[in-house]
Every structure is written in C-alpha cells, then in structure tokens.
Chain A
Amino acid sequence: MEAHAQQPAADRSETSDASALSKLPLWVVAGGVIALILAVLLTIAVVGDDTLPDRLGPPIEELAVERTELSPNRIELTVRNTGPDPVQVAQAFVADAYVDFEGADDPIGRLGSETVALDFPWQEGQPYLVSLVTSTGLVIEHEIPAAVATPEPDGGLFALMALLGLYVGVIPVTLGMLLLPAMRRFRPDWIRLVMAVTVGLLALLAVDATLEGLEIAGASGGAFGGAELVLLGAGIAYLALTGVDRFLRGRRERAEGAGAGGGQLALMVAIGIGLHNMGEGLAIGSAYAIGELALGAALVVGFAIHNTTEGFAIVAPLVREQPSLRRLAGLGLIAGAPAILGAILGASVTNSELSALLLGLGVGAVVQVIVQIAPAMKDSAGRTLDALTTAGIAGGMIAFYLTGLLISV
C-alpha cells in the first residue's frame, strides 16, 4: 500500500514541475534556450580548435575572379577568396611574363575581396592567361578570351544600354501586344490554341533561362554558391508571385465575388516576363562590357522577333477584356523595361552570381505564369491537354526555339 501511495505522489511532483516551467513567460523560456545554444556554440568555437587535429593537407587557396577590367596597359582583376584559408598573392604573370602590380598587399581572408591592377601592355582582341602566384607557389589562373577595353560606366554607356534595352525589351513586347485586336475575333477553340502556344513559348523560355543561369553560375567561383543560386531565385520568384496572386485574387473575390480575371493574369504574365527580361538585359550588358556582343541590326531584329512572342503571351489572357490603352502600355513597360535596367546593371556592375540569381528569378516567374495560364487551356469537358492544345504547346516551343536561333548572346 505504501508503495502505491508514494508512486502517485512522485507523479504529482513531476507534473507540478512541468507546470511551473510552463507558467514562465514565453520570452524567458525562449531566451533561456537561445542563451544555452549560444553558450554551447561559443564553447565549441573556443575549445574546438584544441580538441581537433590540424588539417592533414596543405592550405587550400582559392580565388575567384569576379570582375575583369581592362584599360590601356592595365588589367584589373577583382578577386574573392572562396576557399577556407587566407590567400597571399605574391607575384603575377601575364602570358608567361612576370609583371608589376598593385593591390592585395595583405593576405585575403575567407570571402574577402581585393582588386589587383596588373601593369601589362595587352593588345586588343588577343587572348590572355593571367596567373596569380600565391605565397606557397600555387598558381591561380584567369583566362581573358579576348582583351577589349572595358567601357567606362558613364552617361554614354548608360544611354547605349537604355537604347539596347528598349530595342530588345520594350519595343518587341509592345509589338507582340498589337496582336490583341486580331485575337479578339478568335473562336473559343482558337483562344485555347493561343494559350497553348503561349505555354509552349514560356516553357522553353524557362528551360532556356535555367540552362543559361546554370552556365553562368558554373563559370563563377562560387563564393556565394553557383547552381543553387538559380534554383533559389526560381523558388523565391515562384513563391512570391504565387503569394501576390493569391492576395490579389482574395481582394478581388471580396470586392466582386468573381475569380481571377484576365487582367490580373496578364499582369502576372507581364511581371514574370519582366523579371525574365531583366536577366536577358543583364546578359546583353555584360556581353557588351567584355566585348563579346556584336551590336547591330541582326541582334536587334533577332531579339525583336524573339521577344515579340512575349508580348503575345501577355495579351493572350486579355482577349475577353477591354483594357485601356494606358493599361496595355503599363503591361508592356512592366514586361519590357526591366531589360533596360538589366542591361545597365550588366554593363557596369555585373558579377556572375548576381546574373545567376536574376536569371533564376525569371525562371520562377515564368513557371508561375505557366501555372496560371494552364487553366485557360481547358476545353468544355474540362480537359487541359487535347489534340489542339498539345499541338499549340509544341508549336510554341518550336517557335521559341527557332526565333532563339536568330540571337546569340
């Protein structure tokens, strides 16, 4: 009996302890836990080194070249230490000749960045291999495929980039939107076909941008990640646009008791394409900055044809609406103008990680747009994919692919 009597007593005391803890204010409990975590981390940071052996191998020295600037008799590399150990640039040679240089006097710490300015009489159009020799004799190489003077980031450059952005972004998108009146006369089946073509266009656009983003990310040194930046951008853009869409839709439903209208869909498409065009502008701008962009009619016309398909995608959801001209112009600007911003960014401050992230944003946005448009392909029986829409999607993909052949950045 005694044993029985004691047992419940013990239980009671435990429950009262637990309730005492639960009676504490939340901030005290949370604060206590956080303090404990910090204390443990701090302890590990202090004593961890002493409890673990040193690394077996030599120091790991890594430098990623984030930006290359060429001016007469001078090559400037902005490098970032992407490895775990400090890197001291001791000497440098270009095309197998040691050169004088400035910058990076002290070791560069992890994630630290320095600019080294090398004194070298480079010749326009020639390839160069720049080699940085570290204090341990390691050679970190950077290839300049073709030396071209880096344009000064002045008003003239910005104006040129704005013009390029206008040519490849705003004008083609607006041209594509001119199809709206014709599309209004379409029978419902044709509208479904138009939507399917749009989905096809956008699907290949997403694939195209993903590949480009991964390529650029692969070329970066990866201080801030490479390929995952593209996926991160895509995920963020997709989630953000979905969130915005749900928010707008909820407001509309409360106001009008109706579902998502064509106008809103068009806006979402425009935003998605706008994000994509920013990435495209960035690629154009940075290609120009390193002298790889052949300016001229072929480029502009190629982009015009290619991006006209984007304008078509924006107005496709509007066939049953009567949008004002101002609204149409606004959509065109949202979709096209980011190309201007992208081009300026690309020509002046670009680095490959930023490009990868922005291209990723574009991908997420485009995928989100596809998800939004897909319901508009449904037939009267509620099927999304039938002979008509599959043909349309395939046609859209082929159109994007073929027009894409006209441009190469």
Chain B
Amino acid sequence: MVVETPTGGTADGSAEPGDDKLGGRLSRRRLLVSGLVAGPALAALHEALPHQGIHTVLGGEQHPAALAATGHGSSHASTTSAPSAATDAHLNGLGTAGATFRGGAAVDHRANGFNPTEILRDFDYGKTTRLPSGRILREWQLIASDKEIEVAPGVKFPAWTYNGRVPGPTLRCREGELLRIRFVNGSAHPHTVHFHGLHPSAMDGVPGAGDGIIDSGKSTVYEFNAEPFGLHLYHCHVSPLAEHIARGMYGTFIVDPKEGRPDADEMVMVQNGWNTTFDAEGNQLYAVNAIPFHYVNEPVQVSRDELVRIYLVNILEYDPINSFHVHGNFFNYFPTGTSLTPTEFTDTVIQGQAQRGILEIRFPNPGQFMFHAHKTEFADLGWMGFFEVG
C-alpha cells in the first residue's frame, strides 16, 4: 500500500498500522464519493492514464479534481511499488478509499418499489376531515405485506413491510388531532401496529390489548390523540418481537407541535440493519432508510446556510446502540423532539433502539460532508452517506 503524503512524497503505509486513522479516512472517503459522483470524469481519467498511476491515486489521498488540475500521473506511477500495481491492476482500488459494495453498484430501487432518496423527504400527512367539534381527524391506512427486497446488490431479503416499503411511511400529524389508523394484514404472518406516544391501553397494538394480534387477512383500527408532540415511531409488536422488527416492520411517527417548528428542509432518517443470516446475532448490513451505502451513491442534496431538520430514529435490532455523526458540521439536538429547546450542540449522537431525536443543522461550507454511524463497524457495513452542500 502506497500512501501519498501531504508533501507529495510517499510512505509505505503497510508498515504503519495506524496510518489512516485520522485525516486519511476523511479524505479517502471524500475521494471515494468524488469518484462516484464524478463518474464519467474519473472513467475518462482511468482510460487516459496508466492504471498504475490511477491506482496509486485511488489508494492515496489526493482529490481527483486536484489531480486532474496538476496533471499528475507519471510521478505517482513511479512511486508505486511494482507488486501492488501489478496485482490490483484490475480492481478499482476502493480498498483503502472506503467500504463499498462490489463495483460501487446500487440495488434495483424500481424492483424494490421504493428509493431511499425519495423516502428521505416523503412525509405522509394522511387524509384529514374536520369533526363537528372543530377538531381535525387524520386517517391513514397501513397494509402489512411480505416482500422480497434487494438489500444489497444481488442480495435478496424476505422482508415484512408496512405499505410495501422499509421503513414504512412517515406518518405526520399535529399535536391535538384525532388519529385513526386502519391496519390491514395482507402478510402471511400475524402482525400489529404499536405506536410510541400517548394512547389508551386498547390501542397499544400488543397481543391481548384491544383487538390484539391481527391475523393474516384481518384488519383493525387504531384510534388515539396526537400527543405528545415530538418524534416517535411505530412498529409491529408480535412475538418473536426482534424478528418482526428486524424483518422491516417499522416506521416514523411525527407529531408536530401546535405552534409548529421554524421552516426548514426536513428529512427523515431511520437507522436500521439487516440480519441476512437470521442468526439473531448482529447484522450483516447497516443503513439509514434501508439501503446500505445509498447516500454514498446518491448524496443528500442540501443548500448552504439553509436550516436542515433531520428526524433521526434508531430501530436497529440485535445491536445495543447506534450513532449518527456528521463531518465538518455541528447540529442542535432535540432528544425525542419533545422540547423546542435543544439539549446539545454536537456532531455526534448515540441512540439505543427506539431512541430518536431531531437534528437541526446549517451547513456553512459547500462541498461534500460524510455522515455515518460513529460505530465505525456499522459504517463499513453500509451505514454511511454524504451530504452534498450546494
């Protein structure tokens, strides 16, 4: 492994186990995404220059744009150790640049029936009617179904879903409204919908309460008031509970405060995992909004200096904690969103399962900024992405 040092010289990184822990990681991952975004340009570079040089560069730290500008090439090629260049001539050199699926490929969103880029800003306000009392009645329909999802390119997972997508629809309402959720179980398995929030016992969506377990082909209606305001979630509560969650039966439930929140570019991020081996011991894939590395392939587009509000939920099963970290920026954190006053100004939060919170962030600088679980193992297993600040 040959590492380009800032001074332009090279150092043999293989002798230095800790060489890529700090600055190297950031810049390499930025490099990776720059490469994916600037795909055609990079491909052209790839064709135009000797492979040896390109792979040195991809394994190194320099930005492709800077590369193109300085007309590197032969100098880098000459510093590459011969065996390395010879043996990885056919790979695209992402090994040191960051974790990736094979060839940086993406899943078939069309076949999946949902795209995380669309899920990001997709808030489902349901159907509203005004009751004689003047109060708003808000209604949704959730349909459970069994569906095979491509969770990584070429890897199919037999998921259980709400409305055919994972995470399920982001249900959004306003504090004080009357909520009515009709649940139809079109899955072959028994399910419920259990909401986090305040509600009567019969509306808890657990076995033995109200209609209890909703068998395949049956339906029920959950009805309760929208309270307290904040960021909540819903999920199936049939045993084995861990499996019903791990299979994909969860979604976000947002109750806006009566007075609302300041205008912002709003998005929802549900941190989840896929235990593809069904061994109930950790996960093989980690993601926000179901598809690992998705926001590496399609960075989240945001505007410079505009307020961005992220509704961040952790539903990860089989692992005790999850976390969210953004590079180069800080955010105000509102745990569970139940207060309008932030508790912390930070760049990293930790969440256990079902913990959630609202992040408010302004990006002062343009460019790409990575975000990922700062449980870095999860990041390398798919839970990473980029903000593209335009």
User: A residues within 8 Å of B by Cβ?
Assistant: 71-74, 88, 90-93, 96-102, 117-121, 123-124, 126, 131, 133-139
Contacts and interface: CB of A to CB of B under 8 A. Distances in A.
A107 to B, nearest CB: 10
A97 B93 CA distance: 15
Interface stretch (B79-87, B124-132, B200-208, B302-310): B79-87
Interface of B: 1, 13-14, 17, 59, 81, 83-84, 87-88, 90-96, 99-104, 151-157, 274, 276-278, 284, 292-293, 377, 380-382
B154 A88 contact: yes
15 contacts: A71-B87, A72-B83, A96-B377, A96-B381, A98-B293, A100-B95, A100-B101, A100-B103, A121-B14, A121-B59, A121-B95, A123-B17, A137-B156, A137-B276, A139-B284
A68 to B, nearest CB: 14
Nearest to B98: A97
B155 A91 contact: yes
A126 B103 CA distance: 26
Contact of B93 (A91, A98, A118, A119): A119
Contacts, number: 118
| Leading 3 A-B pairs by shortest Cβ distance | A137-B276, A90-B154, A97-B380
Contact of B94 (A92, A100, A135): A100
B152 A119 contact: no
Contact of A124 (B14, B276, B284): B14
Interface hub of B91, B96, B157, B293 (most chain A Cβ within 10 A): B91
Decide if the interface of chain B is mainly helix, strand, loop or mixed.
loop
A133 B154 CA distance: 9
Given A133-B276, A135-B154, A138-B277, 16 more contacts: A74-B95, A90-B154, A91-B102, A93-B380, A97-B99, A97-B381, A98-B292, A98-B380, A99-B99, A100-B95, A117-B90, A119-B88, A119-B95, A133-B152, A137-B277, A137-B284
Contact of B156 (A101, A120, A136): A136
B88 A74 contact: yes
Nearest to A96: B377
B99 A117 contact: no
B99 A98 contact: yes
Given A72-B83, A98-B99, A99-B99, A117 B274 contact: no
Contacts of A137: 151, 155-157, 274, 276-278, 284
Contacts of B90: 102, 117
B379 to A, nearest CB: 9
A101 B153 CA distance: 13
B233 to A, nearest CB: 25
Interface hub of B1, B87, B95, B157 (most chain A Cβ within 10 A): B95
Nearest to A71: B87
Nearest to B155: A90
Given A92-B102, A93-B381, A117 B155 contact: no
Nearest to A105: B102
Contacts of A136: 155-156, 276
A100 B155 contact: no
A256 B103 CA distance: 75
A135 B156 contact: yes
A98 B101 CA distance: 6
Contacts of B151: 137
Nearest to A123: B17
Given A91-B153, A133-B152, A72 B81 contact: yes
Contacts of A131: 284
A96 B155 CA distance: 17
A74 B13 contact: no
Contacts of B84: 71-73
A133 B284 contact: yes
Nearest to A100: B94
A98 B155 contact: no
Interface hub of A72, A74, A117 (most chain B Cβ within 10 A): A72
B192 to A, nearest CB: 26
B87 A99 contact: no
A74 B87 contact: yes
Contacts of B277: 137-139
A126 to B, nearest CB: 8
A101 B104 CA distance: 10
Contacts of A102: 90-91
A349 to B, nearest CB: 19
A91 B93 CA distance: 16
Given A73-B88, A91-B154, A98-B380, A139 B102 contact: no
Nearest to A92: B102
A99 to B, nearest CB: 6
Contacts of B59: 73, 121
Contacts of A139: 276-277, 284
Nearest to A149: B83
B76 to A, nearest CB: 15
A90 B152 contact: yes
A100 B380 contact: no
A133 B101 CA distance: 11
B381 A119 contact: no
A126 B17 CA distance: 10
A71 B84 CA distance: 7
Given A93-B381, A121-B13, A124-B14, A73 B1 contact: yes
A98 B100 contact: yes
Contacts of B14: 72, 121, 123-124
A126 B153 CA distance: 29
Given A73-B59, A119-B95, A99 B156 contact: no
A136 B278 CA distance: 11
Interface hub of A90, A97, A134, A137 (most chain B Cβ within 10 A): A137
